[in-house]
Amino acid sequence: MATEAADRVTMDKIVALCKRRGFIFQSSEIYGGLASTYDYGHYGVLLKTNVKSQWWRSMIQERDDIVALDAAILMHPRVWEASGHLDGFTDPLVQCLGECKRRWREDHLREQQPEGELRCPECGGELTEPRQFNLMFKTHMGPVEEESAVVYLRPETAQGIFVNFKNVLQFSRKKPPFGIAQVGKSFRNEITPGNFIFRTREFEQMEMEFFVPPDQAGHWHEYWLDERMRWYTSLGLRTDHLRLRPHAADELSHYSSATSDIEYLFPIGWSELEGIANRGDFDLTQHARSSGEKLEYVDSATGGRYVPHVIEPAAGADRAMLAFMVDAYDEEQVEGRERVVLRLHPKLAPVKVAVLPLVSKDGQPEVAREIYEELRERMPAEYDAGGSIGKRYRRQDEIGTPWGVTVDHQTLEDRTVTLRDRDSLEQDRIPMDELGAELERRLAAPWRSPKLSA
Ligand code: ATP
């Protein structure tokens, strides 16, 4: 069960915290901002980098059947013809005929208004008939804006993987089941972006295509559902805020024979965090047909050949970061004052330890600086000597720093420091020389969200 404090989190509070502490800013803010596009500041970059590093770790470092790829964002336009995106990557668009003239996604409105004729949620006006709107951004390559120079910004990273299947197979010495993983920007001209970084037109995806013998596809689909759920919970997301939702037949994408979404209970309600699809042999077959290349696996021992089927866990780095922040956000009363704290898993926290001299005299800053220089060799650390100690702790709590080290007059006498825990607020006095090893021990220890009741 979530605590009462956990339920106090709202999207507005997350947006305000992100701005206040330099995680995320509105893009082009001094020009009035560009709708639904965001810039990541220092702590936002560090947090999102940690999310992506943990994803890479689980895909590459902890196993030996997946290899990495970084394909270009711009691809040959025929890729999108073969993949079905030119014809099929559309959302049903309706426009208000009443006063507000706003545009909506018909499928989203239908979820909110399951019965009867749809009406505009803004002004109650009548709506147009739905028309299919293609979500791909179009641009031109080279100096001439003519039809033959049209290219698209990729709407998913997956196609870069499929068109490199043959290259990877040749050089990686892998055979199915094996995977190709990629992290990178994707672009979708969403009809209704919104809810902060939940749905934007430019975002980062973390996708892995797992190629398997056709008769094993069902097994591997189940396997990756479990594996991806485990990833989120191992990084601290509360199990009671996560669920799996299989897609109904009429919801499936043009390429998919089965998809389940991992959903998270965001402040906007249960929403998709990641989709895990069984894509069958759709993509390799389409690209083989369209390019004339053979995209299949040939078993050198038996001479048997087949087109592998594909299981795809497709996650969003920004959306995952938002879920981790929402899950971590907490408020509590400490000694009569409100404390806002991000209870992030230590592995995700942008800064692991802050070193704070209690006063800016008596040689304390020098000793604190010395401790900091040593600690930052081991983990991301921050040194902060400015302002009252309470203010400095508030800042570290809000960026989710799990540990704080204070240097005081006693440190100068016996070389001990105070080590403060972000979640329990317990303070331990420990020798300076043991600090690095103690923090490494704590960082490696299992961690569970304190927002989950015992
Ligand atoms: P939706 O139905 O919400 O439009 P989708 O099912 O089309 O999303 P996928 O194509 O499965 O999404 O993309 C995989 C993942 O990429 C999503 O689960 C999400 O985390 C992320 N993602 C997709 N679109 C966006 C977006 N516009 N902004 C941020 N993240 C996105």
CATH (domain of 397): 3.40.50.800
177 closest CA partner among 282, 65, 283:
65
Peptide bond into 92 cis (omega under 30): no
Which residue owns the Cα nearest ligand 1 atom 25?
Answer: 199
Q: Which of 319, 324, 326 to mutate to test the pocket of ligand 1 (most atoms within 8 A of CB)?
A: 319
Domain's final residue, options 325, 360, 384 = 325
Atom of ligand 1 nearest to the CA of 274: 18
Kindly state if the Cβ of 203 falls inside 6 Å of ligand 1. yes
DSSP output for 183-200: EEEEE---SS-BTGGGB-
- Residue 330 in any domain: the answer is no
Contacts of 64 (CB under 8 A, 6+ apart): none
Domain's final residue, options 309, 325, 341 = 325
**β-strand 329-334 against 337-342: which pairing, if any?**
antiparallel
Same domain, 249 and 165: yes
Kindly state if the Cβ of 91 falls inside 6 Å of ligand 1. no
Atom of ligand 1 nearest to the CA of 272: 18
Same domain, 302 and 356: no
**Per-residue pLDDT at 283:** 97
Kindly state if the Cβ of 169 falls inside 6 Å of ligand 1. no
Kindly state if the Cβ of 228 falls inside 6 Å of ligand 1. no
**Per-residue pLDDT at 453:** 65
- Residue 141 in any domain: the answer is no
- Residue 446 in any domain: the answer is yes
Same domain, 286 and 401: no
**Whole-number Cα distances in Å, 366 to 315, 370, 434, 437, 454:** 45, 6, 19, 21, 42
Same domain, 123 and 20: no
Residues of the domain holding 389 = 351-453
Instruction: Tell me the per-residue pLDDT of 251-268, one tens digit each, with 9 for 90 and over.
Output: 887 777 789 999 999 999
Same domain, 318 and 416: no
**Per-residue pLDDT at 454:** 44
Atom of ligand 1 nearest to the CA of 188: 27
Q: Give me ligand 1 centre to Cα 18, in Å.
A: 22
Same domain, 77 and 220: yes
CB neighbours of residue 131 within 10 Å? 11
- For residues 61, 65, 66, 67, the Cα torsion angle rounded to the nearest 10 degrees is 90
Which residue owns the Cα nearest ligand 1 atom 11?
Answer: 275
Atom of ligand 1 nearest to the CA of 316: 20
Q: Give me ligand 1 centre to Cα 370, in Å.
A: 46
**β-strand 309-316 against 269-280: which pairing, if any?**
antiparallel
- Residue 363 in any domain: the answer is yes
Q: Give me ligand 1 centre to Cα 413, in Å.
A: 57
Contact 449, 1 (CB under 8 A): no
Atom of ligand 1 nearest to the CA of 320: 20
CB neighbours of residue 10 within 10 Å? 13
Atom of ligand 1 nearest to the CA of 314: 14
Same domain, 77 and 101: no
Question: What's the structural domain count of the chain?
Answer: 3
Q: Give me ligand 1 centre to Cα 272, in Å.
A: 7
**What parts of the chain have a pLDDT lower than 70?**
1-7, 453-454
**Per-residue pLDDT at 7:** 59
Same domain, 166 and 94: no
Taking the C-alpha atoms of residue 383 and residue 354, their distance in angstroms, rounded to an integer, is 6
Alpha helices in 202-258 (DSSP H): 217-234
- Say how far residue 329 (Cα) sits from the centre of its chain: 16
Contact 417, 372 (CB under 8 A): no
Same domain, 184 and 315: yes
Same domain, 62 and 159: yes
Kindly state if the Cβ of 275 falls inside 6 Å of ligand 1. yes
Which residue owns the Cα nearest ligand 1 atom 1?
Answer: 272
- Residue 47 in any domain: the answer is yes
- Residue 342 in any domain: the answer is no
Q: Give me ligand 1 centre to Cα 34, in Å.
A: 20
Taking the C-alpha atoms of residue 420 and residue 367, their distance in angstroms, rounded to an integer, is 18
Kindly state if the Cβ of 199 falls inside 6 Å of ligand 1. yes
- Residue 207 in any domain: the answer is yes
- Residue 339 in any domain: the answer is no
Same domain, 181 and 208: yes
Q: Give me ligand 1 centre to Cα 351, in Å.
A: 28
Number of alpha helices (DSSP H) and beta strands (DSSP E) in the chain? 14, 23
The pTM of this model reads: 0.94
Kindly state if the Cβ of 154 falls inside 6 Å of ligand 1. no
Structure tokens at 45: 């970059």
Q: Give me ligand 1 centre to Cα 158, in Å.
A: 13
Kindly state if the Cβ of 188 falls inside 6 Å of ligand 1. yes
Q: Which of 106, 182, 203, 232 to mutate to test the pocket of ligand 1 (most atoms within 8 A of CB)?
A: 203
Kindly state if the Cβ of 263 falls inside 6 Å of ligand 1. no
**Per-residue pLDDT at 215:** 96
Kindly state if the Cβ of 130 falls inside 6 Å of ligand 1. no
* Run of H or E including 147: none
Which residue owns the Cα nearest ligand 1 atom 26?
Answer: 199
Same domain, 94 and 80: no
